[in-house]
């Protein structure tokens, strides 16, 4: 999780393309991703020890066109929890442009600077999922894990059909023990679709899905090809590894709550990709990226192949209908596990 600096060729390309590589606005209250909101991220792929390749990714809020506004939204999604909750998640589009510049050879002395390729796309993100808050999920998961470690009381589960009263009995006891709030329950319930939404950004960003594909286990890829696809994809939090992140290390104001949230992705019941997200509150300027300010993607069993993403610049345009109110900082952080 140590910071990796952008290479000289990437810096030069960013200057030529007028893409800022620094400047993070303090988080503020707000719920809109609009024109003027922008996030710049550095993506670094590390292979075979010291071989590094970098890309520049730019996400900007845009004004939607008539065709985009006329698109039919998907129906709301309803999920149920083992503590008896019912949560409906609607679709509110956030229209953005996505831009990728690269690749750049990040070696100290690259053989010959190659002309980077630039790819562009536009898409609509689900703002309701982006705003759920993985930071709340990190704190709640840590408390639940500790409660079960001291005296097993049950687990928090989610499905698409209601739980019976008998099934929710243990869930109620667990919720009371850990002091689970309604907002935390809603966030935990929506974690999987929220992660799907975040990976929707990866999928829609030109070239970024291909970059992440390089980290995946090739034997699994062939297994998927030979056996006609993926039968199951499962996101599993690793609560014993959740920890407080140093806010200033990620360009955040001192005292801003931030956490490292490790997640194991299992495809066809096989651990495929370990993600460690660095998350803060999903408020502007971080609403567009779901509050994720950093990411480490690792291939299980291969310490020399990994990918990092780090937000370098984040700017929020003040919407005319919103009042700029800074978020309170210096809140007590629940997780106490040592930072990795």
pLDDT at 334 over 80: no
Higher-confidence residue of 192 and 325: namely 192
Average pLDDT over residues 119-134: 86
pLDDT, tens digit (0-9, with 9 covering 90-100), for 232-264: 667 788 888 999 999 999 988 888 899 999 988
Give the model's pLDDT for residue 154: 62
Distance CA(317)–CA(36), nearest Å, equals 5
Residues whose CB is less than 8 angstroms from the CB of residue 9 and which lie 6 or more positions away in sequence, other chains included? 104, 105, 110, 113, 116
Lowest mean pLDDT, pick from 13-27, 172-186, 187-201, 204-218? 204-218
Give the model's pLDDT for residue 315: 92
Give the model's pLDDT for residue 259: 92
- Pick from 314, 288, 279: which is nearest to 127 by CA? 288
pLDDT at 41 over 90: yes
Distance CA(260)–CA(262), nearest Å, equals 6
Distance CA(307)–CA(229), nearest Å, equals 24
Average pLDDT over residues 55-84: 91
Read off the tokens for 306: 């990994």
Give the model's pLDDT for residue 230: 53
Q: Which residues are 125's β-sheet partners?
A: 94
pLDDT band with cut points at 50, 70 and 90 for residue 280: very high
- Pick from 105, 202, 187: which is nearest to 143 by CA? 187
Residues whose CB is less than 8 angstroms from the CB of residue 166 and which lie 6 or more positions away in sequence, other chains included? none
pLDDT at 71 over 80: yes
Residues whose CB is less than 8 angstroms from the CB of residue 151 and which lie 6 or more positions away in sequence, other chains included? none
pLDDT, tens digit (0-9, with 9 covering 90-100), for 317-332: 864 344 444 444 444 4
Average pLDDT over residues 186-193: 82
Residues whose CB is less than 8 angstroms from the CB of residue 75 and which lie 6 or more positions away in sequence, other chains included? none
pLDDT at 336 over 70: no
Lowest mean pLDDT, pick from 98-102, 169-173, 279-283? 169-173
Give the model's pLDDT for residue 183: 86
Give the model's pLDDT for residue 114: 63
Q: Are strands 93-105 and 117-126 parallel, antiparallel or unpaired?
A: antiparallel
Average pLDDT over residues 219-225: 49
Read off the tokens for 272: 């495929």
pLDDT, tens digit (0-9, with 9 covering 90-100), for 11-33: 999 999 999 999 999 888 888 88
Lowest mean pLDDT, pick from 6-15, 88-97, 188-197, 253-262? 188-197
Distance CA(89)–CA(308), nearest Å, equals 30
pLDDT at 39 over 60: yes
- Pick from 62, 61, 19: which is nearest to 40 by CA? 19
pLDDT at 73 over 50: yes
Lowest mean pLDDT, pick from 40-44, 81-85, 197-201, 301-305? 197-201
Largest CA distance in the chain: 67
pLDDT at 200 over 50: yes
Average pLDDT over residues 274-293: 90
């Amino acid at each position: 999780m140590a910071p990796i600096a952008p290479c000289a060729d990437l810096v030069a390309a960013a200057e030529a393309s007028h893409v800022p590589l620094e400047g993070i606005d303090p988080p503020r209250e707000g719920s809109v991703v609009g024109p003027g909101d922008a996030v710049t991220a550095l993506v670094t792929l590390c292979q075979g020890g010291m071989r590094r390749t970098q890309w520049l990714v730019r996400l900007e809020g845009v004004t939607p066109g008539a065709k985009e506004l006329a698109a039919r939204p998907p129906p709301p999604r309803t999920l149920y929890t083992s503590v008896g909750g019912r949560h409906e998640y609607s679709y509110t589009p956030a229209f953005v442009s996505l831009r990728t510049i690269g690749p750049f050879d990040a070696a100290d002395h690259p053989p010959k600077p190659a002309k980077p390729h630039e790819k562009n796309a536009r898409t609509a993100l689900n703002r309701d999922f982006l705003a759920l808050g993985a930071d709340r999920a990190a704190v709640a998961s840590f408390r639940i894990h500790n409660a079960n470690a001291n005296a097993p009381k049950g687990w928090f589960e989610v499905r698409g059909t209601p739980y019976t009263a008998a099934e929710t009995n243990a869930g109620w006891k667990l919720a009371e023990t850990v002091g689970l709030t309604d907002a935390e329950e809603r966030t935990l319930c929506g974690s999987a679709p929220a992660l799907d939404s975040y990976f929707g950004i990866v999928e829609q960003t030109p070239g970024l899905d291909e970059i992440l594909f390089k980290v995946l286990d090739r034997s699994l890829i062939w297994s998927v090809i030979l056996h006609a696809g993926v039968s199951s994809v499962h996101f599993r939090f690793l609560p014993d590894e959740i920890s407080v992140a140093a806010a200033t290390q990620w360009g955040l104001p001192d005292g801003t709550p931030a956490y490292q949230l490790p997640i194991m992705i299992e495809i066809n019941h096989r651990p495929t990709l370990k993600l460690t997200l660095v998350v803060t509150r999903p408020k502007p300027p971080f609403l567009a990226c779901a509050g994720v300010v950093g990411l480490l993607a690792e291939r299980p069993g291969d310490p020399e192949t990994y990918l990092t993403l780090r937000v370098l610049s984040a700017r929020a345009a003040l919407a005319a209908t919103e009042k700029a109110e800074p978020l309170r900082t210096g809140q007590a952080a629940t997780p106490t596990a040592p930072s990795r």
